Amino acid sequence: MSLLTLETTALALLTPGKGILAMDESMPTIGKRLHEAGVENTPGNRRAWRELLLTTPTLSEFISGAILYDETLNQSAHDGTPFPMLMNDCGIIPGIKVDAGAQQFAGHTNEKITEGLDHLRDRLEEYRSLGARFAKWRAVITIGPGLPSRACIEANAHALARYAALCQEAALVPIVEPEVLFDGDHSIERCYAVSRETLHTVFEQLHRMGIALSGMILKASMVLSGQGCAQQAPLEQVARETLRCLRNTVPAAVPGVAFLSGGQSDAAASQHLNAINVLARGMHAPWRLTFSYARALQHAPLQLWRGSAQNVERAQQLLLHRARLNAAASTGRYTPHMEQELAA
């Protein structure tokens, strides 16, 4: 493993004023998203959508890297340029989702364990040869009555650490993603407690597995009130609780945290990220705090595109607009009036 390679890639992904585009939806998830936009889930439509995203002019001003799904890493733009090559040409670092999805956790109703460790070493070698420079593995933690169980947190943290060790061995920067779901009617205090326990356990496992913290990125959920909670915590509280959670669990050697959007609206995801960065600046937080959004970047452009070539340019403008707002939020420079400005 070359630590220098890992650190250089991690820092490039965390370039100030940029974030990561997550476009690594698995087959069932992309099918759902396309269906919601009235687009048939065919290989051609998936390829066309992902080409639209990656060929958005000047996207690399705001996006440092993009996470692909296995199918996309092997696909090409309509002119035959393989997607990883197209990305390198425009300055976007190719990454790859390598987990095999969250499955029912045996003996634990309503809980999930992420699978995909079998033969992962071989797959990582192949992904690297295809141009990937970083990877992602998502674990899912559900909040509910009596949930999460300690067993679920520990099993997922252990799998994340084994994945991270294999990535670093293969000179791929691991994005370690323990997602605490936004679903449910829990309070922000409950989200804080679960997020803290989860992150604490994940870093304990990363430590045991000997992970070089300077050569990884944490992908975390923000500390929020549950989506169905009647009392939604205001921006400042979300920022305060999110930073309190990170400060209590994430070592300073980790170069950055890239948040997921988790089902928040596009504007809320920008506003929360901005509030977190404004507060972090005053606290001299040690990490870069940016975004690795899927839904909060793709939702509006996908609804506009609807599978029609005529809408490609306008959909790309919407993507660029939201990427620009999130990039501003990643340095605490987002303002609500920017919501009205569409990229030129």
CA distance 325 to 105: 38
Candidate segments 105-113, 235-243, 258-266, 310-318, binder of ligand 13P by CB under 6 A = 258-266
Output the six-digit token pair for 167.
């990535």
Other beta carbons within 10 angstroms of residue 11's beta carbon come to 17
Write the DSSP symbol of residue 80. Answer: S
State which of residues 138, 288, 321, 322 lies at the interface with ligand 13P (CB under 6 A): 138
Which entry of 18, 97, 112, 219 is annotated as an active-site residue?
A: 219
Q: Does 293 bind ligand 13P (CB under 6 A)?
A: yes
Which entry of 25, 177, 179, 197 is annotated as an active-site residue?
A: 177
Q: Does 326 bind ligand 13P (CB under 6 A)?
A: no
Minimum CB distance to ligand 13P smaller for 86 or for 268: 268
Smallest distance, ligand 13P to C-beta of residue 78, A: 26
Q: Does 46 bind ligand 13P (CB under 6 A)?
A: no
Minimum CB distance to ligand 13P smaller for 29 or for 81: 29
CB-based contacts of 118: which residues, under 8 Å, 6+ apart?
none
282, 240 Cβ separation under 8 angstroms: no
State residue 199 phi and psi, 5-degree precision: -65, -35
Candidate segments 166-174, 189-197, 292-300, 303-311, binder of ligand 13P by CB under 6 A = 292-300
Q: Does 112 bind ligand 13P (CB under 6 A)?
A: no
Query: Does the annotation count 32 as an active-site position?
Result: no
Minimum CB distance to ligand 13P smaller for 124 or for 176: 176
Give the CA angle between residues 193, 152, 124 to the nearest 5°. 110
Helix 43-54 with 312-329: angle, nearest 10 deg: 50
Q: Does 33 bind ligand 13P (CB under 6 A)?
A: no
Q: Are strands 112-114 and 102-104 parallel, antiparallel or unpaired?
A: antiparallel
* Beta-bridge partners for 137: 176
Question: Catalytic residues, which ones?
Answer: 177, 219
Instruction: Please report, as ranges, the residues that interact with ligand 13P according to CB under 6 A.
Output: 22, 138, 177, 260-262, 293-296
